[in-house]
Amino acid sequence: MCSSASRVGVQGSWIQEILKSEQATGILIMHLPHVRWACGFTGSNGFLLVKEERLHLFTDRRYETQATLEVHGAQIHIGSDNLVDLVRNEGLVLATDRLLIQPQCMTVADLYRWEAAFPGISLIPRKNLLNRSVAVKSEEAIAKMRQAQSISDAVFHDIIPHITLGIREIELAALIDYEHRLRGASGMAFETIVAFGANSALPHARPGNRALGTDEPVLLDFGCSFDGYTSDMTRTLHCGEPPSTEFRAVYEAVQEAQERAVSVTHTGMDASAVDHAARSNLVTAGLGDFFSHSTGHGIGLEVHEWPRISANSSAILEKGQTITIEPGVYLPGRFGVRIEDTVLIGASACERLSHIERDLIIV
């Protein structure tokens, strides 16, 4: 079935730009978040073919009704098992075509299927295809990201009284997830991290059965999805007073590194310079060796998207991009501290989407 023929609308410029610069005859978008970005489709199976300035969504019967409701600016093609056969039967692609593909999303099985259907076709891999276009958010996308973050902020605020001696990491994580759902999140953006004591020294700790004891840090890293767009934040709290001098010193160094990086971030800046701003502060504090990951990542329809905010990133920040800034220090077997905010890149500064304070909270 096909919807009424549709011209490419607002997104048109990216198509011409890409096709012209790559001398290609079409684009095959298999990365589902990008399919959603380009035409609104949220189903779990399908791909978008761009040919002659028109978008064609191919999906299966399960999504027939959903696609009709969601998709804008693309012609809908409904097939059964082999959607590539449908492309061929509809005559949309020829063996002489040069199609740009996203190699990280095309399986070997997909590749064989396309090459079998169109012998001799040129499938040209472009790892960063669409990444720049998707990274710059529309006003509508920014509003959704603000909403996602405001849900996470409200949850953070409300769970603090529940962080009491004896609560297990897994209980607190369940509570965080539940509270997000109650406030309208469609789900969590990633598995919630709750790490007590020495577990906080693992940057990607998984919540387990550990019960909160006194004089322990509490690292919370979570985010949700709201109408497709995500939030991401980390705060490290401390249970019991006063924290050790060492914990306090590490906390202050991380806070200063995070605040310094946020204060210098703006349009036109190298992503690597944001990393440098955070990292150099921790190096000066003698903690550089314990900051074991990059400073942040792009965020939007996916919690981790282009660009990476790392020392070897070649990306340049643009107005309307959203990234995280999340330096951390991890002392193995002892404790870790991370502070993370999602920020919106503006002309001469950036704006934190979270309004949660960064001074140490003691529970």
Query: Quick one: 77 or 338, whose CB is closer to Zn ion?
Result: 338
From 74, 71, 99, 70, select the one nearest 84 (Cα to Cα). Answer: 99
- Asked if residues 292 and 330 have their Cβ atoms less than 8 Å apart, the reply is yes
With CB under 5 A as the contact rule, which of the stretches 33-41, 212-220, 317-325, 344-352 interacts with Zn ion? 317-325
Query: Quick one: 46 or 327, whose CB is closer to Zn ion?
Result: 327
With CB under 5 A as the contact rule, which of the stretches 126-134, 167-175, 265-273, 332-340 interacts with Zn ion? 332-340
Query: Quick one: 256 or 340, whose CB is closer to Zn ion?
Result: 340
With CB under 5 A as the contact rule, which of the stretches 34-42, 134-142, 315-323, 324-332 interacts with Zn ion? 324-332
For the bound state, the minimum distance from the C-beta of residue 305 to Zn ion, rounded and expressed in Å, comes to 11
Q: What is the DSSP string of 162-223?
A: G--TT-BHHHHHHHHHHHHHHTT-SEESSPPEEEEGGGGGSTT----SPBP-SSEEEEEEE-
DSSP 8-class letter at 81: S
Q: What is the DSSP string of 212-223?
A: P-SSEEEEEEE-
With CB under 5 A as the contact rule, which of the stretches 211-219, 234-242, 277-285, 307-315 interacts with Zn ion? 234-242
Distance CA(286)–CA(154), nearest Å, equals: 35
DSSP 8-class letter at 284: H
CA 190, 47, 191: angle at the middle one, nearest 5? 5
For the bound state, the minimum distance from the C-beta of residue 228 to Zn ion, rounded and expressed in Å, comes to 18
> Residues 200 to 229: which contact Zn ion by CB under 5 A?
221
- Asked if residues 74 and 92 have their Cβ atoms less than 8 Å apart, the reply is no
324 is an interface residue for Zn ion by CB under 5 A? yes
For the bound state, the minimum distance from the C-beta of residue 176 to Zn ion, rounded and expressed in Å, comes to 12
Query: Quick one: 147 or 324, whose CB is closer to Zn ion?
Result: 324
> Residues 140 to 169: which contact Zn ion by CB under 5 A?
none
256 is an interface residue for Zn ion by CB under 5 A? no
With CB under 5 A as the contact rule, which of the stretches 104-112, 262-270, 322-330, 343-351 interacts with Zn ion? 322-330
For the bound state, the minimum distance from the C-beta of residue 95 to Zn ion, rounded and expressed in Å, comes to 43
Considering only 169, 232, 256, 305, the residue that binds Zn ion (CB under 5 A) is 232
- Token pair 């985010």: residue: 223
> Residues 275 to 294: which contact Zn ion by CB under 5 A?
none
Distance CA(61)–CA(84), nearest Å, equals: 15
**Residue 217 Cα distances to 114, 206, 242, 282, 287, angstroms:** 52, 15, 11, 19, 18
Query: Helix, strand, or coil here: 122?
Result: strand
Query: Quick one: 75 or 294, whose CB is closer to Zn ion?
Result: 294
For the bound state, the minimum distance from the C-beta of residue 326 to Zn ion, rounded and expressed in Å, comes to 5
| DSSP β-bridge partners for residue 124 | 100
52-61's contacts with Cβ under 8 Å and 24+ in sequence apart are 52/26, 53/7, 53/8, 53/12, 53/15, 53/16, 54/5, 54/6, 54/7, 54/8, 55/6, 55/8, 56/92, 58/83, 58/86, 58/87, 59/83
For the bound state, the minimum distance from the C-beta of residue 222 to Zn ion, rounded and expressed in Å, comes to 7
For the bound state, the minimum distance from the C-beta of residue 131 to Zn ion, rounded and expressed in Å, comes to 17
> Residues 84 to 113: which contact Zn ion by CB under 5 A?
none
With CB under 5 A as the contact rule, which of the stretches 3-11, 38-46, 151-159, 334-342 interacts with Zn ion? 334-342
For the bound state, the minimum distance from the C-beta of residue 192 to Zn ion, rounded and expressed in Å, comes to 10
Number of residues that bind Zn ion (CB under 5 A): 5
302 is an interface residue for Zn ion by CB under 5 A? no
Query: Quick one: 179 or 232, whose CB is closer to Zn ion?
Result: 232
Distance CA(206)–CA(208), nearest Å, equals: 6
Q: Which residues are near Zn ion by CB under 5 A?
A: 221, 232, 234, 324, 340
